[in-house]
């Protein structure tokens, strides 16, 4: 039989962690973003699902959505179809990057393969999460074409859709 304390702790993590916002810090060595209205630091490198390298600098000059998700998160799984549809609709206008973390590489890759049109980053050690100051899933860091953070927390699907539509019309 499983330990009841472990089951309770796991349930609390799922309930509280699946829609919490991002935390940020301005301390030396802290995350790359300091909040909405600030310039984002795109100086990072990550491995994509297909083993290629994604340079953060590749995102400069275009709007981008970085979606921080975990394979076991029911909120993230529910958001996946909308994120995929946005990535397809705004391909070439808004970069949509899924940053899978908080699990092992296999679990991240297995779910990412079910979410088409999104450029997926496999981040089992949370390096990209830390770079952006993200402490919980599901979090969206949304950046405009000028590199300004316009969102750094959880969004409902409709809010994300409206924000991406606005960014696409403002893009150069």
In whole angstroms, what is the distance from residue 78 CA to residue 20 CA? Answer: 15
Instruction: Say if residues 137 and 75 touch (Cβ distance below 8 Å).
Output: yes
Residue 61 CB contacts under 8 Å (≥ 6 apart), including other chains: 145, 172
Count the neighbouring beta carbons within 10 Å of the beta carbon of residue 9. Answer: 11
Whole-number pLDDT of residue 18: 52
Q: For strand 53-55 and strand 45-47, is the pairing parallel, antiparallel, or unpaired?
A: antiparallel
Fold classification of 47-170 is Glutaredoxin (3.40.30)
Closest CA to 66 of 120, 124, 145: 120
Angle at 61 between CA 60 and CA 66, to 5 degrees: 55
Count the neighbouring beta carbons within 10 Å of the beta carbon of residue 127. Answer: 15
User: Which two structure tokens, joined as six digits, stand for 125?
Assistant: 């050690």
Instruction: Say if residues 49 and 113 touch (Cβ distance below 8 Å).
Output: yes
SS3 46: strand
Instruction: Say if residues 144 and 167 touch (Cβ distance below 8 Å).
Output: yes
Tell me the sheet residues that pair with 142.
Answer: 65, 151
pTM of the model: 0.81
Tell me the sheet residues that pair with 39.
Answer: 148
In whole angstroms, what is the distance from residue 141 CA to residue 1 CA? Answer: 41
Q: Structural domain boundaries of the chain?
A: 47-170
Whole-number pLDDT of residue 36: 81
Whole-number pLDDT of residue 6: 29
Q: For strand 64-69 and strand 95-101, is the pairing parallel, antiparallel, or unpaired?
A: parallel
Low-confidence ranges of the chain (pLDDT < 50): 1-17, 19-33
């Amino acid at each position: 039989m499983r330990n009841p304390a472990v089951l309770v702790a796991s349930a609390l993590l799922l309930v509280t962690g699946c829609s919490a916002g991002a935390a940020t810090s301005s301390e030396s060595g802290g995350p790359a973003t300091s909040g909405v209205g600030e310039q984002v630091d795109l100086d990072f490198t990550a491995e994509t699902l297909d083993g290629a390298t994604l340079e953060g600098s590749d995102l400069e000059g275009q709007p981008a959505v970085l979606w921080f998700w975990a394979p076991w998160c029911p909120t993230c799984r529910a958001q996946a179809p909308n994120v995929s549809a946005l990535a397809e609709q705004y391909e070439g206008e808004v970069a949509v990057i899924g940053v899978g973390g908080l699990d092992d590489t296999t679990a991240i890759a297995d779910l990412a393969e079910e979410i088409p049109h999104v450029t997926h980053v496999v981040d089992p050690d949370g390096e990209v999460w830390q770079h952006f100051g993200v402490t919980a899933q599901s979090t969206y860091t949304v950046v405009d074409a000028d590199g300004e953070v316009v969102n750094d927390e959880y969004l409902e699907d409709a809010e994300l859709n409206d924000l991406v539509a606005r960014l696409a019309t403002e893009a150069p």
